[in-house]
């Protein structure tokens, strides 16, 4: 990692949490994500809708919808667990 002056920063740690299927970016995978992906199924991707290609194959189709449905019921929170650990589903929300 570098600062704006190009100086290498050492000892800096970061964490990234990814919720596969959360196309609405609301930290939950649920029926809204399924509906939004179904609505663009078969349409070409553009910068505004790239998140809908859940399986990253360049197309929005039933396989994306199936993957979202499989992850439905999972959620990320501000205190998301460290990388590599499993999150417990939260009622009324989604997880991956």
Is the pTM above the cut of 0.75?
A: no
Phi-psi region at 56: left, alpha or beta (left = phi > 0; alpha = psi -120 to 50):
left
- pLDDT at position 39, please? 92
What pLDDT, in 10s, does the model give residues 56-84? 888 889 999 999 999 999 998 766 554 44
What pLDDT, in 10s, does the model give residues 6-39? 998 888 787 888 899 999 989 999 999 999 999 9
Q: Are 77 and 27 in contact (CB under 8 A)?
A: yes
- pLDDT at position 51, please? 87
């Amino acid at each position: 990692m570098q600062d704006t002056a190009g100086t290498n920063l050492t000892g800096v740690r970061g964490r990234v949490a990814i919720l596969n299927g959360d196309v609405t970016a609301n930290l939950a995978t649920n029926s809204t994500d399924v509906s939004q992906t179904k609505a663009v199924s078969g349409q070409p991707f553009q910068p505004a809708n790239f998140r809908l290609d859940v399986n990253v194959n360049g197309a929005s189709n039933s396989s994306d919808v199936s993957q979202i449905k499989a992850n439905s019921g999972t959620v990320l929170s501000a205190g998301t667990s460290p990388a590599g650990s499993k999150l417990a589903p939260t009622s009324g929300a989604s997880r991956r």
